[in-house]
Structure 1
Amino acid sequence: MERKSNARLLVLLTFVAFIIGLRMVAPLSPDFKWFANFSGVGAVAIFSGSYFKNRFSAYVLPMLVLLLSDLGLAMTMGVNYGFYQGWYYTYIAFALMVLSAQLLVNKVTVTNVFAASLVGVFIHWIISDFGVWYGSTYYPQTLAGFWTCLVAAIPFELNFLYGTLIYSVIMFAGFEALKSKFPSLALRTAIA
């Protein structure tokens, strides 16, 4: 039984590692400005909240993916790119994305994953842009200033939504296909 649990954990971690790899090579792309928000980090949060039964793993892995990618971005693009003003609000948003997946994806279905992705991206939009707006000298510290910040972020959030949806399809469909081929990955008592 332990061996089957370890196999499940290894497969789940492989899916997460694949997304980390894509996020780490993104700065090397000549179209990085467009590609930057088209990432799979949101999908990792939804995936982790849906599949990892160990709550510690469900929250820590997306945070670790985000931290590693932010460190990579800071080293390749500059410190202010990876760790901008209010960056920690983005980490809060990702923790809430994991929570939304835990609450919305009781059973992995297209509808549940889609709903968790939409809710997660909406949470990300509001919380992370609150961090950009709060204390900003660029946006007035009023409700209208916060609204202006949210509107300015729509193109970036749309890319984040598309990335979250597409990478979610890849991750969830891939893992579900593996579960149908290898039933031991579907263990209810798995550690992961």
Structure 2
Amino acid sequence: MSLKNFNARTWVLILILLVAAGTRFIPLMGDAKWFNFTPVGAIALFGGTYFQNRWKAYLVPLLVLFVSDIFINYSYTGQWSFFYTGMAPIYISFALMVFIGSLIKKVSVANVLLASLGGVLVHWLVTDIPGFAPGLELYSRDLSGYSQALVAAIPFEKNLLLGNLIFGALLYGGFELAKSRYGVLKSNKQLA
């Protein structure tokens, strides 16, 4: 893939996602009561909606998540690490959120709200499978343990939903407004 295949719309989408990912580093996010209040779900949904090229739709949001995770992990551990325990189900859940975002054919408040709810539901069900996520070894690897993990995750998923809704409103609303003012951001099948 050469740089000439990236058009203005693609660069704007990437820049928007990078700026959104930068909000993961706001000091407020280090407070445990705000865990999972991040733009990551909204980034995945947004990427799925606006990148018409499917590999970009998955690659860009997941790469943004991966790179920001490296810096987040460093801020917590003081060590550079590219992988962590429980990473696979987390990335699978965000890839599924990209897919959910790709189902949005017409951007509307209702569609973004439904996608945000669906993304949180997927994240909740996938990332809390006992034996995968860090800390879930506290629960047995059966239906009872899974149920306990799901209940314990509710406050975190509430924050993810709040993040999806707030950041989703900013991302989708901002880009739709920009599209209405700058024709170069409108899509056509060969772009983005």
CA contact (8 A) 1:74 1:83 kept: no
What is the alpha-carbon distance in structure 1 between the residues aligned to residue 66 and residue 139 of structure 2? 26
CA contact (8 A) 1:50 1:106 kept: yes
Task: State the secondary structure of the residue aligned to 1:137.
Answer: helix
Task: State the secondary structure of the residue aligned to 1:37.
Answer: coil
What is the alpha-carbon distance in structure 2 between the residues aligned to residue 84 and residue 37 of structure 1? 17
Against the structure 1 CA distance between its residues 82 and 6, is the aligned structure 2 distance closer, same or farther, given a 3 Å change threshold? closer
Correspondence for 2:122:
123
Poorly superposed stretches of 4+, deviation over 6 Å: none
Q: Could you tell me which runs of 5 or more consecutive residues in structure 1 were left unpaired when the two chains were aligned.
A: none
Q: What RMSD in Å do the two structures reach over aligned CA positions?
A: 2.1
Residue 82 of structure 1 deviates from its aligned partner by 8.5
What is the alpha-carbon distance in structure 2 between the residues aligned to residue 6 and residue 92 of structure 1? 28
Deviates more, 1:156-165 or 1:57-66: 57-66
Correspondence for 1:145:
145
Deviations 1:64-111 (A, max 9, x none): 1221122112111127x99553221000001111111112x0111111
What is the alpha-carbon distance in structure 1 between the residues aligned to residue 68 and residue 170 of structure 2? 20
What is the alpha-carbon distance in structure 2 between the residues aligned to residue 62 and residue 124 of structure 1? 15
What is the alpha-carbon distance in structure 2 between the residues aligned to residue 29 and residue 168 of structure 1? 19
- Structure (1/2) with the larger helix percentage: 1
What is the alpha-carbon distance in structure 2 between the residues aligned to residue 142 and residue 159 of structure 1? 26
Residue 48 of structure 1 deviates from its aligned partner by 0.4
Deviations 1:15-56 (A, max 9, x none): 101112111x23x44853233311001000000000000111
What is the alpha-carbon distance in structure 1 between the residues aligned to residue 59 and residue 187 of structure 2? 22
Q: How many residues get paired? A: 183
Task: State the secondary structure of the residue aligned to 2:128.
Answer: helix
Give the percent of matched residue pairs that are identical in Structure 1 and Structure 2: 40
Correspondence for 2:57:
58
Deviations 1:94-133 (A, max 9, x none): 1111111112x01111111111111011001110111xx1
Amino acid in structure 2 at the alignment position of 1:158: K
- For 1:1-192, what aligned pairs fall within 5 Å after superposition? 6-23=7-24, 25-26=25-26, 28-29=27-28, 31-78=30-77, 84-103=84-103, 105-130=104-129, 133-134=130-131, 136-192=136-192
Residue 190 of structure 1 deviates from its aligned partner by 4.4
Task: State the secondary structure of the residue aligned to 2:137.
Answer: coil
Task: State the secondary structure of the residue aligned to 1:178.
Answer: helix
Task: State the secondary structure of the residue aligned to 2:63.
Answer: helix
TM-score by length of 1: 0.87
Q: Could you tell me which runs of 5 or more consecutive residues in structure 2 were left unpaired when the two chains were aligned.
A: none
What is the alpha-carbon distance in structure 2 between the residues aligned to residue 42 and residue 48 of structure 1? 10
What is the alpha-carbon distance in structure 2 between the residues aligned to residue 159 and residue 41 of structure 1? 12
Against the structure 1 CA distance between its residues 151 and 32, is the aligned structure 2 distance closer, same or farther, given a 3 Å change threshold? same
Deviates more, 1:94-103 or 1:168-177: 94-103
CA contact (8 A) 2:29 2:35 kept: no
What is the alpha-carbon distance in structure 2 between the residues aligned to residue 30 and residue 144 of structure 1? 31
What is the alpha-carbon distance in structure 2 between the residues aligned to residue 87 and residue 151 of structure 1? 21
